[in-house]
């Protein structure tokens, strides 16, 4: 039953979809993205069509120029937008692609308004936060209504209520709610109920304060989702309901979960989806069909075997820097009924010898994407070791480029072989800046970004994994394999098994006579979802299992 997605007239505006907003209180990192994605999953499983978007209050136009230490992974969409990593969760949970339209920052909002001002759109007027910035925020929120026939649009507001940066977003939300009517708009406030071990008590005061902040902005939340380490007793729920002015049923417990993939089921148990639908006046009597999701969880939690994978990178202090890779391993592990233990290895620690000892006991090594010269030597050491010792290898983007450099140096004997990203003056640029990048000096949004086609060679590891010749994968890079070295490289056994059909750009390299050695210029991790685990991750885990056996 698909009940809504029809035009609803309210005041002077038509709305095509109902809206859910997710705000955050007390602290950051409570997992708004996971709660939003879980709620979306439940609604989708009931047969409703849902999309999620994220509003980020920082001034960068997009997170593409942010260091992974600052902001975690930069997630790239099909259309080449560099976005917040929460969009990765949306795609992994919902199994539908997002786009540039699903992520907006304050920087982009201001950029648009300033461009309009320069074009004369506000002639005669003083341009101000209210109404000009808030109008633009509302436009962006409602843009989704025109992009698809969504029953429900979920908007996650980044940051924490009380931040100066969040104020225009809350004001825009207050206005929008007034314009489209409360029955078309639900506000879910995610908050923290800390446990004081000395007092052995869960505390509600921080939540009361954060709701007060919201009220000051003119927003009464409809539902409180409470992050907690311990179950919320009834008295506490009642107290929160009373002080925060919501009904008792709308105080939802979000207890710490073993895996983020448990959260949709925990929210189902707490009836978050039902409460939301009731508040939005959507009659939906379908029970959510979560069969596939539960199958996935069943296999994830009951592995029959285990492999140990080394993730060689340089941003290892922060797991979020490789978020999609970790998640892709979880998906691929579940398919193989295999627990994948991913051990981060800082590439710089591999630089001073004793590599055999450092990589002992690994069933596979993945060399991660990255930028700049720091840590490259360690990556080359790791690749040489796994190449010579028949250990499964998977190189992604920079990892693939390092595999080429290592092969050219140590097998072809081209001692000066390098990437010009690492050594701009090398006489043997086996990895070089792409021709169309040479004139570019600006850094934001200027890489080769988004989905490009690739043609695979039959009889390759990749073809076997994908089961087809024509694939499309997402990219984020400036450098590429230098085709001047192709003949020599292939003659020695490193084969270019995947190429972009239009430009001839090498997308995949594979080593002959090795059980599993593959490097890809693209980012397969970005397309792995619960329902569609990525074939290369699945085949890499299979190879690791074989290696272990
Ligand atoms: N730094 C490399 C390039 O720009 C690889 C990028 C990446 O790993 N995402 O080509």
3-state SS, one letter per residue, for 77-107 = CCCCCEECCHHHHHHHHHCCCCCHHHEEEHH
Question: Cβ(106)–Cβ(59) under 8 Å?
Answer: yes
- Of ligand 1's listed atoms, the one at least distance from the Cα of 396 is 8
Distance 114 CA to ligand 1 centre (A): 32
Residues 208-244 have pLDDT tens digits of 999 999 999 999 999 999 999 999 999 999 999 999 9
Q: What is the mean pLDDT of residues 249-265?
A: 97
**Distance (Å) of CA 46 to CA 92, 290, 298:** 18, 9, 21
DSSP label of 283: -
- Of ligand 1's listed atoms, the one at least distance from the Cα of 523 is 9
Residue 188: its H or E element:
strand 185-192
Q: In this model, does residue 127 exceed pLDDT 70?
A: yes
Q: In this model, does residue 531 exceed pLDDT 60?
A: yes
Ligand 1 probe mutation, 80, 322, 370, 396, most atoms within 8 A of CB: 370
Question: What is the per-residue pLDDT for 14?
Answer: 55
Q: Is 397 noted as a catalytic residue in this protein?
A: yes
Ligand 1 probe mutation, 74, 315, 367, 371, most atoms within 8 A of CB: 371
Distance 446 CA to ligand 1 centre (A): 12
- Between the two ends of the chain, the Cα-to-Cα distance in Å is 49
Residues 68-95 have pLDDT tens digits of 887 889 999 999 999 999 999 999 999 9
DSSP label of 312: E
Rounded Cα distance, 454 and 462, in Å: 11
Distance 480 CA to ligand 1 centre (A): 9
Question: Cβ(331)–Cβ(530) under 8 Å?
Answer: yes
- Of ligand 1's listed atoms, the one at least distance from the Cα of 476 is 9
Residue 109: its H or E element:
helix 106-119
To the nearest whole number, what is the mean pLDDT of the chain? Answer: 94
Return the axis-axis angle of helices 323-335 and 291-301, rounded to nearest 10°: 90
Distance 83 CA to ligand 1 centre (A): 16
Nearest to 334 by CA among 160, 490, 529, 139: 529
User: Residue of the nearest CA to atom 8 in ligand 1?
Assistant: 369
Q: In this model, does residue 109 exceed pLDDT 90?
A: yes
Question: pLDDT category, 5, cuts 50, 70, 90?
Answer: low
Q: What residues does ligand 1 touch, defined as CB less than 6 Å away? A: 369-371, 397-398, 421, 476-479
Question: What is the per-residue pLDDT for 7?
Answer: 58
Q: In this model, does residue 12 exceed pLDDT 60?
A: no
Q: In this model, does residue 423 exceed pLDDT 80?
A: yes
Q: In this model, does residue 207 exceed pLDDT 50?
A: yes
Q: Give ∠ CA 117-120-126 in degrees, rounded to 5.
A: 55
Handedness of CA 103, 26, 128, 182 (dihedral sign): positive
Q: Which of 74, 397, 408, 454 is catalytic?
A: 397
Q: In this model, does residue 172 exceed pLDDT 80?
A: yes
Q: What is the DSSP string of 412-423?
A: S--TTEEETTT-
Residues 307-332 have pLDDT tens digits of 999 999 988 878 889 999 999 999 99
Residues 329-360 have pLDDT tens digits of 999 999 999 999 999 999 999 998 899 999 99
| Predicted model pTM | 0.94
Rounded Cα distance, 50 and 264, in Å: 15
Q: Is 408 noted as a catalytic residue in this protein?
A: no
β-pair partners for 495? 510
Q: Is 179 noted as a catalytic residue in this protein?
A: no
Question: What is the per-residue pLDDT for 15?
Answer: 59
Distance 304 CA to ligand 1 centre (A): 36
Question: Cβ(192)–Cβ(25) under 8 Å?
Answer: yes
Burial class (CB in 10 A: 0-12, 13-18, 19+), 419: buried
How would you write 431-447 as a 3-class SS string?
A: EEECHHHCCCCCCCCCC
Distance 166 CA to ligand 1 centre (A): 33
Question: What is the per-residue pLDDT for 1?
Answer: 46
Q: In this model, does residue 257 exceed pLDDT 60?
A: yes
Question: pLDDT category, 9, cuts 50, 70, 90?
Answer: low
- Of ligand 1's listed atoms, the one at least distance from the Cα of 368 is 8
Nearest to 490 by CA among 508, 516, 472: 508
Question: What is the per-residue pLDDT for 479?
Answer: 97
Rounded Cα distance, 435 and 70, in Å: 30
Ligand 1 probe mutation, 478, 505, 519, most atoms within 8 A of CB: 478
User: Residue of the nearest CA to atom 3 in ligand 1?
Assistant: 477
Question: Cβ(185)–Cβ(18) under 8 Å?
Answer: yes
Question: pLDDT category, 177, cuts 50, 70, 90?
Answer: very high
Question: What is the per-residue pLDDT for 11?
Answer: 44
Q: What is the mean pLDDT of residues 391-420?
A: 97
Rounded Cα distance, 216 and 316, in Å: 40
Q: Which residues contact 171 (CB under 8 A, 6 or more apart)?
A: 129, 130, 134, 217, 218
Distance 400 CA to ligand 1 centre (A): 9
Q: Which residues contact 336 (CB under 8 A, 6 or more apart)?
A: 305, 538, 541, 542, 545
- Of ligand 1's listed atoms, the one at least distance from the Cα of 369 is 8
Rounded Cα distance, 148 and 133, in Å: 25
Q: What is the dihedral of CA 123, 128, 129, 133, to 10 degrees?
A: 10
Q: Which of 19, 331, 523, 534 is catalytic?
A: 523
- Of ligand 1's listed atoms, the one at least distance from the Cα of 397 is 8
User: Residue of the nearest CA to atom 6 in ligand 1?
Assistant: 477
**How much of the chain exceeds pLDDT 90, in percent?**
88
Nearest to 496 by CA among 525, 531, 455: 455
């Amino acid at each position: 039953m698909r009940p809504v997605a029809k035009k609803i007239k309210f005041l002077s505006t038509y709305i095509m979809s109902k809206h859910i907003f997710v705000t955050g209180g007390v602290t950051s990192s409570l997992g708004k993205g996971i709660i939003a994605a879980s709620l979306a999953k439940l609604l989708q499983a009931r047969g409703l069509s849902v999309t999620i978007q994220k509003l980020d209050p920082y001034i960068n136009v997009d997170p593409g120029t942010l260091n992974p230490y600052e902001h975690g992974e930069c997630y790239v969409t099909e259309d080449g937008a560099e976005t917040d990593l929460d969009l990765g969760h949306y795609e992994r949970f919902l199994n539908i692609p997002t786009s540039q339209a699903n992520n907006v920052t304050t920087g982009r909002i201001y950029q648009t308004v300033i461009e309009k001002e320069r074009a004369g759109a506000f002639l005669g007027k003083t341009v101000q936060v209210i109404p000009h910035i808030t109008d633009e925020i509302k436009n962006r929120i409602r843009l989704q209504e025109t992009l698809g026939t969504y029953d429900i649009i979920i908007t996650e507001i980044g940051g924490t209520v009380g931040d100066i940066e969040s104020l225009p977003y809350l004001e825009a939300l207050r206005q929008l709610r007034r314009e489209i009517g409360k029955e078309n708009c639900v506000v879910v406030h995610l908050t923290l109920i800390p446990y004081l071990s000395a007092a052995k008590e869960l505390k509600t005061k921080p939540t009361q304060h954060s709701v007060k902040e919201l009220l000051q902005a003119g927003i009464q939340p409809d539902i409180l989702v409470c992050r907690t380490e311990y179950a919320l007793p009834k008295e506490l729920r009642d107290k929160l309901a009373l002080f925060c002015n919501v009904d008792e049923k709308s105080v939802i417990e979000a207890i710490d979960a073993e895996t983020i993939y448990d959260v949709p089921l925990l929210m189902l148990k707490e009836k978050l989806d039902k409460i939301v639908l009731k508040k939005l006046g959507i009659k939906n009597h379908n029970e959510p069909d979560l069969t596939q999701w539960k199958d996935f969880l069943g296999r994830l939690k009951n592995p029959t075997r285990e492999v140990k994978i080394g993730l060689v990178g340089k941003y290892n202090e922060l797991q979020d820097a490789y978020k999609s890779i970790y998640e892709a391993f979880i998906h691929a592990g579940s398919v193989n009924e295999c627990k994948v233990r991913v051990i981060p290895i800082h590439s710089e620690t591999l630089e001073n010898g004793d590599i055999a000892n450092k990589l002992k006991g690994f069933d596979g090594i993945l060399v991660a994407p990255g930028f700049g010269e720091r840590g490259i030597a360690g990556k080359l050491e790791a690749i040489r070791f796994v190449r010579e010792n028949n250990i499964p290898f998977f190189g992604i983007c920079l990892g693939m480029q390092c595999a080429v450099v290592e092969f050219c140096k140590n097998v072809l004997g081209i001692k000066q072989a390098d990437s010009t990203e690492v050594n701009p003056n090398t006489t043997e640029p086996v990895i070089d800046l792409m021709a169309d990048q040479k004139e570019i000096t600006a850094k934001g949004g200027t890489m080769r970004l988004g989905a490009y086609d690739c043609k695979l060679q039959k009889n390759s590891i990749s073809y076997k994994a994908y089961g087809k010749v024509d694939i499309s994968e997402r990219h984020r890079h400036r450098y590429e394999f230098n085709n001047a070295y192709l003949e020599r490289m292939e003659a020695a056994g490193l084969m270019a098994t995947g190429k972009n059909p239009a430009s001839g750009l090498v997308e995949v390299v594979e080593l002959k006579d090795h059980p599993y050695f593959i490097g890809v210029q693209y980012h397969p991790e970005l397309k792995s979802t619960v329902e569609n685990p990525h074939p290369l991750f699945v085949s890499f885990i299979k190879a690791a299992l074989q290696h272990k056996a």
